[in-house]
Amino acid sequence: LLEILGAIYSQIHKHRTEIHVPPGFSNLMRSAAAIFASILAVLAMELEDLGPDVQELPVLSSIDDLGSRWQQHLRIEDLKSLENAVAFRARIGDGHSWSAWSVASSPLEVFVKPPKPATSAVLTVKEMEGMGSAEVSWPAFELAPGLARVDYLVRAVCTSSPEDSLEQLLPGTLAAAESEGGTLCRTCLRRLVPDTEYVISVTASYPQLSRFCIEEPAEEMLRLKAVFHTSGIDATVFEPPAPPRQIAPSALRGGAERRSPWSLDFWLEVDQRALPDSQGPAYVAEWRQVIAPRACEAEWRQAKLDVVGKDAPPCPPGLAVCTFDLGEALGDEPVPEIIELRLRLENQSTRIAASSRAWLSRAVELPTAYASVPKPRTLLRMAKSGGLEFAMTFLLCDHDPSDPATARIEEVQLSPKQGRPKQPPMAHGHRFAERLQLRHRLAGDQHDDDEAVELASQTLCRSSQEEESTCPLGWHATTVTVPALFPDFSEGERRVFSVRIGDSCRWSPWSSFSKPVHVKVPPLLCSDPQGLAATPKPPATVMLEWDSLHSELGEVEYALWLVAIEASGREANGSQLLGIISGGGGGRRQGEFHVGHLEPGAGFLFKLMARSKSHVLGPLDFVEFSRTEVITWHAAMPAQVLPVVHDGLPAPRLAAESWDLPMPVQIPVPDDLEAGSGRWRGRAVLLAWPKGLTVSENPPLELQVCEDSKAFDEQGWLSVTWALLRMHELPCIAASALPFSRCRFRWYSRDRRIPGPRSESCVAFAEPPTSLTAETFCTLSAVRVKILILLREEPSRGARAASQYQLRYQAVQRSRNDDGTEMFTSAGDWQNLPQSDLASLACTSDGSQSFCMELGEEDGLELASLYCFSARVGDSRRQSSWSISSEAIVFDVPESYCPAPISRAGLDPEKELLVEALSLSSVRCWWPELQAKEVREGRPRLEYRLDISRCFSDGRLERHATILTADKELNDEELGERSQGLGPAGAAPFESVVNGLLPGSRYFAALFVRFSRLGRREWRKTGLKASFETPAVAV
């Protein structure tokens, strides 16, 4: 016991609390000593927190002198609860029995005031001679009375890259060791980044007493802070690294089109300094997964790059092609939806010697995989431009992984790689997809093993035609269309479609095939069916009248047939085609037809057959719509030829056509074939191989051609030579060296000596446009390009043969030859615009024909870029060669549209700004009205910027103020007054007041202007400027 008491006495700390024992305790202790006949008495105390807790302290010590005033020192560390005020109670005893507790002492608050800087204290940062070093000095902090030990924490936070921040903890005695009198503290910060901004702060704390310090309401009162920017150095050691770029070359492993949907190999173009054997400063590739929300950042991890050998595609100088295997880097971790990749300077000493811009490359985001798209919904519908199209609607998931309420995509198990199974990607969506691709095949179990036809990929447009309420949460519907054209699609087929999405480097798996779609043309309709009526007109003509039919595809062709009836009432074998008539319109149609010599008393009937004239799905079969009752031919007169009348107009005679023979159908010529083969530079047509006819170089049919304007003349048909080609594994016929620019074809049976039906009009050759003239102009809110296209003077060869046109443009750049002449070189590939119908042509003064069109930013043109244009004409199946490129123009606001001062109220527009002093520190600036060139809708609105700068004696200018103003909108009444000359000359602010100037100082004012809604909105100089001096004394 004596050893324990001696240890308590020896543990005396400088922070103590004094406890006074009242005199009444002396008698009590004497009594206790007498009763127990002991010379040793002990004292116990109890700590009573004014809160709910009570702490009983251990026996403190023995009392030697019971009659004296007794004091006991307590360590603050032994007290458990100090949040509230505390009170003390005491009792005495001999270790076996105790007295009652005394009355509690008065409440006592135990706290320490934290160290803080003086009110006038300033943190000083001075750069040292050593590279990346700075000396930080500050006055010593004010401490609580009785305390002398203090620790300082110096922080240097890098604003550009927080990972390069520094911290330094040092005792106050060390910080003040080199100062005079200990009133100033110093320390040195080393390894700072050159040319970087730091926020340096100093805080202080008591050793082992931080929890007893009072919390100040304002934390800034307890610290010193300063902003310091390290000086830059010559960054000529090496250039900043280029960010990694993902590629998908077609020569590598089949390219992106054949890459596995769940391949985790990334083909990258990286800086050569990131390679293992690079010379000079070395970089290391790092990757991390992107965590949603972006506030949570994952840790950067090193990425292992493998250099591609001889199969590497060409790349720009200084770059190399490498691969990064994300699956190997992940191991057994789940595959993230998106990762970031960057290059970091590896050597720390090299980082000190380099500019901070060369430390890190820009981080690029790389999606790892895309989930499969749900099964699309497909239907066949009418296209807005005419014809048929397939419309596929499918859902895309743009979910946010951080939101559990959004819909999730089913997990797709990755295929094992090298015998190592991978975990499936969790809820990979489609929000990073940029492209889509479609494929189709014939429907049915017998076609399940057929190879699907893959269409060209296209840009993914996320426009939805369905209401958002019909889509699940986190999903949206997207619709894409495919034209239904022959020979890709034919009448009566049943097709199924599949879709996949992705980007330029990877694709999702193909979706499930849609439900079968029946490919068929819309039915012919009749608004008021009355049937076919026939009126015989012996001896050799008949008047027929029938209902007009309507087709959503355009015009309708009618075929009228004469059928003989046997005595038994059955139709006789063979029938006579009276004629084929095409046209639209409503009401009843009629025509008088020559039937020749018919046997008197014989029975006949007439049939009306029709079909759509459009051949978007190939040649269609005639469908019977109506027939007459059996008619008995009475009169018998010699057969004679009478003119046949169709809708009141005489029509030429036609030889009988056999509809058992196929009809020639023209198909489009691919661009690569048309540009690479000399056959298509002349008059040539590409035809589909006839259905039902065996593919052979010498078929039993003869191909004949006739000029389009003489198709009804039997004498105008000529035999034509042709060659057998294969396009997309389908047989085709190339009819070349044709004598006509626009013609029709038919098949002629040599055995039966009868021709087949005529084809529709085909364009065999079209002359390219002779010249293109492009110029820029402006509207109120857009820059446009007007292109004038001039065609050949011979309409029969050029203009008449063309029903459509197509434009293309190319970005160019200006350069100079060695002799100083200006030249333009290509800066990109040609961009083809969609084909458009050639509605009307205008005749010029020299007899040629021309038409105009306009382009803008919606067509892909970018402001301030140089472009040249080219055009070609033709139709949807045959195009002319491209014309010569136009002169290069700048797609920007022309100089003639730039605002310029105008005269107003006798003010010369060439003079400078007028400045009027309003007081010692304010002036008013006046300027003439500025107007832009008037466009079709009015004048573009302008914005004004008035810059006021103070002039110093050494020639320096210091910006004082910048005032922005703009034209105001005029109402209808003001516009009417302005048009009549009664209102103000314009709606522009012609004056502006500048305040806050220094009296007796010289200033310079300049006015700038720009368009509010037009062009790049760059500030332009107006030439209006003035130098003035403010008055030194009040006037």
DSSP-derived 3-state class of residue 34: helix
pLDDT attached to residue 439: 92
- Residue 86: closest CA among 69, 111, 61, 65: 111
Instruction: Work out the mean pLDDT of the chain and round it to a whole number.
Output: 76
Q: How many helices (H) and strands (E) does the chain have?
A: 8, 66
Structure tokens at 531: 């049937």
654 within 8 A of 559, measured Cβ to Cβ:
no
- Residue 781: closest CA among 456, 528, 1014, 547: 1014
In the block, which residue shows the tokens 């306009």? 854
Out of 109-118, 324-333, 372-381, 452-461, which region has the weakest mean confidence (pLDDT)? 109-118
- CA 745 distance to own-chain centroid: 48
How sure is the predictor about 31, in pLDDT bands with cuts at 50, 70 and 90?
very low
User: How far, in Å, are 382, 384, 439, 450, 878 from residue 483 at the CA level?
Assistant: 10, 11, 13, 22, 17
Burial class from Cβ neighbours inside 10 Å (0-12, 13-18, 19+) for residue 23 reads exposed
pLDDT of residue 8 exceeding 70: no
How sure is the predictor about 514, in pLDDT bands with cuts at 50, 70 and 90?
very high
pLDDT attached to residue 307: 86
Dmax of the chain from CA atoms?
170
pLDDT attached to residue 29: 41
User: What distance, in Å, lies between the first and last C-alpha atoms of the chain?
Assistant: 98
Out of 63-72, 297-306, 316-325, 375-384, which region has the weakest mean confidence (pLDDT)? 63-72
Dihedral sign, CA of 849, 854, 859, 860? positive
pLDDT attached to residue 699: 87
- Residue 606: closest CA among 666, 563, 654: 563
Structure tokens at 308: 């591609």
Q: 931-948: buried (b, 16+ CB within 10 Å) or exposed (e) per residue?
A: bbbebeeebbbbbbbbbb
Out of 87-91, 306-310, 845-849, which region has the weakest mean confidence (pLDDT)? 845-849
How sure is the predictor about 293, in pLDDT bands with cuts at 50, 70 and 90?
low
In the block, which residue shows the tokens 């820059």? 783
Higher pLDDT, 1033 or 879: 879
Higher pLDDT, 956 or 195: 956
pLDDT tens sequence across 441-469: 999 888 888 888 888 888 888 755 444 45
Burial class from Cβ neighbours inside 10 Å (0-12, 13-18, 19+) for residue 106 reads exposed
pLDDT attached to residue 497: 93
pTM of the complete model: 0.44
Provide DSSP, 634-677: ----------EEETTEEE-------TTSPPP-B-PPPHHHHHH-
Provide DSSP, 23-68: THHHHHHHHHHHHHT-S--EEEEEEEESSS-EEEPPP-EE-S-TTS
pLDDT attached to residue 278: 66
pLDDT tens sequence across 899-918: 887 765 555 555 678 899 98
Burial class from Cβ neighbours inside 10 Å (0-12, 13-18, 19+) for residue 218 reads exposed
How sure is the predictor about 408, in pLDDT bands with cuts at 50, 70 and 90?
very low
DSSP-derived 3-state class of residue 680: helix
Question: Which whole number is the average pLDDT over 113-128?
Answer: 87
pLDDT attached to residue 368: 84
d(CA 783, CA 688): 45
pLDDT of residue 717 exceeding 70: yes
d(CA 443, CA 435): 26
Q: What are phi and psi of 29, to 5 degrees?
A: -70, -35
How many residues in total does the chain contain? 1035
Burial class from Cβ neighbours inside 10 Å (0-12, 13-18, 19+) for residue 27 reads exposed
Q: What are phi and psi of 975, to 5 degrees?
A: -65, -40
Out of 2-16, 255-269, 755-769, 825-839, which region has the weakest mean confidence (pLDDT)? 2-16
d(CA 722, CA 736): 6
- Residue 548: closest CA among 589, 516, 581: 589
pLDDT tens sequence across 892-904: 998 888 888 776 5
DSSP-derived 3-state class of residue 357: helix
pLDDT attached to residue 990: 80
Query: Could you tell me what percent of the chain has a pLDDT over 90?
Result: 8
pLDDT of residue 763 exceeding 80: yes
